[in-house]
Amino acid sequence: MANTFGNSYGLTTLCPLINGVHDEQTSFDKITRRRIQRLEEDAGSPFARIPNTYFARLFILNDVFFQQGNDVARDHLKSKYLVFTSNFHGELEPYLKGMWDNAEADVRSLWQYAVAFDKVQNADDFIAYIKKCQLTTTLFFNGSTDVSLKEQLKALYVKQVFSEFALAHQGQDAAALRTAFNNLMAEIKLADLDQPSWAPGQTRLQNMY
């Protein structure tokens, strides 16, 4: 089904940017591009604050590229576009509401010079705006497991911890290994998805041993 794969959703949007310049100096697309480039990465990214985001990407589309020879008429875009794509767990409207609720300042900054974004004043307006800019994501395939972000982060945490455990306890006798393993199982709390676990955007785990 278009846009969805199991419980995952593939969002693709193209939001036209206002043609023109700010203060007769810098074009609106360049201002937007610089704001994208200044975004923090990993755990500091605004997308790390948005619930159930598997993957998100922002970039500026300057024009379309056509490679069929010089004798073919070429189409060009009338505007440059802010492209936003995201793969996430769940349905579209709750995700966009979470995006507004958890990263409103970043959303306002990044979309400030998108056409008609000045009419967006709240979460409902933002949801309606993004839907107008949405393209159908055909043949969408989710490259991760079809579970919530919390479950995936917990799984990554457990995988890392078990790898470090195996390296740290090689050569121990069976009794010592069993004691260490039982302590590990008590510490990682498999049934608790909140802690200990990886945080959204986290790229490495502090060494436990």
Give Cβ neighbours of residue 5 (< 8 Å, ≥ 6 apart).
140, 141, 142, 146
Beta-ladder partners of 15: 82
HSE, side-chain direction, 13 A CA sphere, residue 29 = 17
Residue pLDDT, tens place only, 51-60:
999 999 999 9
pLDDT of residue 23: 82
Residue pLDDT, tens place only, 121-175:
999 999 999 999 999 998 888 777 789 999 999 998 999 999 999 999 999 999 9
Percent of the chain's residues with pLDDT above 70: 93
Reported confidence tier of residue 8, pLDDT bands at 50, 70, 90: very high
Reported confidence tier of residue 209, pLDDT bands at 50, 70, 90: low
